[in-house]
Amino acid sequence: MLIPLAGIDATFDSEIVDKGELPALLLLVSFGATFGITRFITHSIRAERFSWLGNIEAGDTHIHHLVWGICLLLVSGLLAVAVQPPLSVTAVVFGIGAALTLDEFALWLHLDDVYWSEQGRQSIDAVIVFAIVSGFMVLGVYPISFDDSGPGLAGAIGLAISLATGWAFVIVCFLKGKLILGVLGLYVPPIAMVTAFRLARPHSWWARKRYDAGKLERSRERFKGEDKITKPDVTEAALK
C-alpha cells in the first residue's frame, strides 16, 4: 500500500503543487463541501428533520445564508489586498463565500425569495457553472489561451477566427437555454457545436423569438420532464 500512496503523493506534488494549482483545488473543494453542507441544512430545516436546526433571524427578518456568503467574499478580497496571506487561505475563504452566495443565486437575480420555487433551480445551474470553471482551473485549462496562436499576424488572425467561431456556438447554446452545455463548450468546442444544432428549451430566448407554434410544441414535449420539481415534504408549521 505504501508504494501506490507514495505514487499518488508524488503525482499530486508534480501535477498540482508544483504547477501552482493547489489554491484552485482548495477553492473547488471548499466550494463543493460548503454547497453540499448548505443544501443538507436547508432541506433538513424545511423538512423539520432535526429539532435543533433552524433559520437565523434578527427579529422578524430572516437572514439568508447569501448574506454570510457576501461577507466572506468581501473578507477574502480584503485579506488578499491588505494582509496578503498565503493564496491557499484566500482561496478557501473565497470558495466558502462563493458557495453560500451562489446557492441563493436565484434570490439575488429575481430579488425575491424563490429558493424553493421553479426559478430556484437557477441557483443549481449557477453552482454547476462555477464548479465547471473552477474544475478546469485546477487542470490549468482556460476558455481563452493565447499560447495556441501561431507565430506572427497570421497566427493571431487564425486564433481570433477560431475563438469567434467557438464563442458563436457557445452564445447560441446560451440563447437556446443550454447554459451548462454552453459553458462546457468553452473548453470542449465540439460540445457547443453539437448542442447549438439541438432543439432549444421552450422558455429560452431562441424558442420564444424563432420557433413557430409547431416547433415550440415539439420543444415543450421534448423538455416536459424539466417542468417537474421535487420538494421535500413539509408540515404547515415549517411554511410559517
Q: What is the secondary structure of 108-167 as a DSSP string?
A: HHHTS--TTSGGGHHHHHHHHHHHHHHHHHHTT--S--GGGS-SHHHHHHHHHHHHHHHH
Contact assessment for residue 209 and residue 240, using Cβ atoms and an 8 Å cutoff: no
CB atoms closer than 10 angstroms to residue 10? 10
Cα 35 from Cα 134, distance rounded (Å): 14
Could you give phi then psi for residue 160, rounded to 5 degrees?
-60, -40
Radius of gyration of the chain (CA): 22
Share of the chain above pLDDT 90, in %: 56
Domain that holds residue 57: 1-141
Number of domains in the chain: 1
Dihedral (Cα; 174, 176, 179, 184), 10-degree rounding:
-80
Tens digit of each residue's pLDDT (9 = 90 or more) over 196-206:
999 999 999 99
Residues 6+ apart with CB under 8 A from 237: 48
- The separation between the first and the last C-alpha atoms of the chain, rounded to the nearest angstrom, is 54
Residue found by looking up cell 495556441 in the block: 148
Tens digit of each residue's pLDDT (9 = 90 or more) over 6-24:
677 788 778 788 788 899 9
Asked if residue 123 is part of any domain, the answer here is: yes
Asked if residue 209 is part of any domain, the answer here is: no
Asked if residue 166 is part of any domain, the answer here is: no
Q: Is 140 left (phi over 0), alpha (psi -120 to 50) or beta?
A: left
Q: Who has greater pLDDT, 97 or 19?
A: 97
Asked if residue 194 is part of any domain, the answer here is: no
Asked if residue 118 is part of any domain, the answer here is: yes
Give the SS3 label for residue 61: strand
Cα 103 from Cα 67, distance rounded (Å): 11
Pairing outcome for strands 57-58 and 61-62? antiparallel
Residue 104 binned pLDDT confidence (cut-offs 50, 70, 90):
very high
C-alpha grid cell for residue 106? 436565484
Asked if residue 94 is part of any domain, the answer here is: yes
Residue 234 binned pLDDT confidence (cut-offs 50, 70, 90):
very low
DSSP state for residue 201 in the 8-state scheme: P
Q: What is the pLDDT of residue 5?
A: 65
Give the SS3 label for residue 23: helix
Cα 160 to chain centroid, rounded: 27
Asked if residue 95 is part of any domain, the answer here is: yes
| Predicted confidence (pLDDT) at residue 240 exceeds the cutoff of 50 | no
Cα 186 from Cα 195, distance rounded (Å): 12
Asked if residue 11 is part of any domain, the answer here is: yes
To the nearest whole number, what is the mean pLDDT of the chain? 86
